[in-house]
Amino acid sequence: MAKRDYYEILGVAKNANADEIKKAYRKKAIEFHPDKNPGDKAAEEKFKEAAEAYEILSDPQKRQRYDQFGHAGVGGAGDAQWSGNMEDIFMHFGDIFEGHFGGQFSNAFRHFARGFAEEQGDGRYQQRKTRGSDLRVKVRLNLKEIATGVEKKIKVQRLVSCSNCGGTGGKNGSSSIKTCPTCKGRGIVTQFQRTILGSMQTQSYCPDCGGAGRFITERCPNCGGEGVVRKEDIITIQIPAGVEQNMQLTMRGKGNAARNGGINGDLLVVIEEEEYPELLRDGSDLIYNLLLDVPTAILGGTVEIPTVDGKVKVKIDKGTQPGKVLRLRNKGLPNVNSYGTGDLLVNIGIYIPENLSSDERKIFEQFQSSSNFKPSQHNARSFFDKFKKMFE
């Protein structure tokens, strides 16, 4: 069963802002919450469906991938907010109740969530991990590469993990790394406060090690203790068929390496299309403007039409009128979401020469007196109907 559109699930437009998406989700979450619909499996499914839609559309990066690639761009999404992180779940309910029962009730959920995380070791409060910066590159593609998909190898100057210290930043690897005595390597410190409601504990990143949980006693001479060095790297990119101008592909972990063994950034690949001299692109369809000579338009014949795969011969019926559109099925570009292939649309125009020889002029003067060459009201209406359809 095909998955429903996330915007349709929440009942918002595709250009909805973050506040509109959040408001729509709250409404759905309360309407279909299992506590309000005990034993109703349909309501439970709609509740989960709305949660999945909100997870994607509330995240700018996930929403961008979904807008570009549909469900294929966010494969594996859904159910993340129910993955076992109890703090996220209670924070999630705090957001829901904020708009309906006031800030005091929602804050209670959030406070309970933090306390639960601290007590259970939920995973939100852990050693601070640095993240490498993202890199952005542009890749130019011709129409043939877009039609078939292509593998590209590009050179990128990026930060990579230091091979001398293994990314630790220490002169002798891990032996030059010492545990922070303040936080005992946890990266966080816990403080207790007495309030009128009882004892409360709060956690924050260690002020001495900045949340890293360690110190470098001797820095690596190759990277200066940073754990990364700059290097020219060759990266292979698999570009799917059907990509479009300014579409952005994300290669996880192929950006700059993080200092001191953190998380690598991403490589963002921006697509640029080379202009094709004969074919115009309209989504997955291609357009070719064919200019027929007068004899072929009148008598019919065969012409060659350029396509992505080379030229093909197309039959022209006798009496072909300007404005007629021929559709060559599946001669366009594949859809990036694998929803089929577009068509090649051939717009027909008639070439009228500006200068005629004396013999040519005599021939057309004879035609001018022929009733067969005089347009009727029916011919005029037929032409304007075809012209109108071009703009519908």
Predicted pLDDT of residue 366: 84
Condensed to tens digits (0 to 9), the pLDDT of residues 259-303 reads 877 789 999 999 999 988 899 999 899 999 999 999 999 999 999
Q: Mean pLDDT of residues grouped by 10 in the chain (392 residues)?
A: 82 90 89 82 88 90 81 55 40 47 46 44 51 92 93 93 86 79 84 69 80 82 89 92 91 87 88 91 94 93 93 94 93 84 94 90 85 68 55 50
Count CA atoms closer than 13 A to 82's CA, side-chain side.
Answer: 10
Model pTM greater than 0.95?
A: no
Q: Closest Cα to residue 247, out of 336, 321, 364?
A: 336
Dihedral sign from CA coordinates of 97, 99, 105, 111: positive
Predicted pLDDT of residue 388: 56
Please, which residues have CB within 8 angstroms of residue 256's CB and are 6 or more apart in sequence?
A: 132, 133, 134, 135, 158, 159, 228, 264, 265
Domains of the chain and any CATH numbers: 6-120 (1.10.287.110), 135-273 (2.60.260.20), 276-352 (2.60.260.20), 357-392 (no CATH)
The CA–CA distances, whole Å, from 40 to 28, 31, 32, 46, 379 equal 15, 12, 9, 10, 63
- By the 8 A CB rule, do 3 and 9 touch? no
What's the CA gap between 21 and 54, in Å, rounded?
Answer: 7
What's the CA gap between 226 and 67, in Å, rounded?
Answer: 38
Predicted pLDDT of residue 90: 46
Q: From start to end of the chain, where are the E strands? A: 135-141, 150-161, 177-179, 188-195, 198-205, 214-216, 228-239, 248-251, 267-273, 280-282, 285-293, 301-307, 310-316, 325-328, 344-351
Count CA atoms closer than 13 A to 154's CA, side-chain side.
Answer: 22
Predicted pLDDT of residue 31: 87
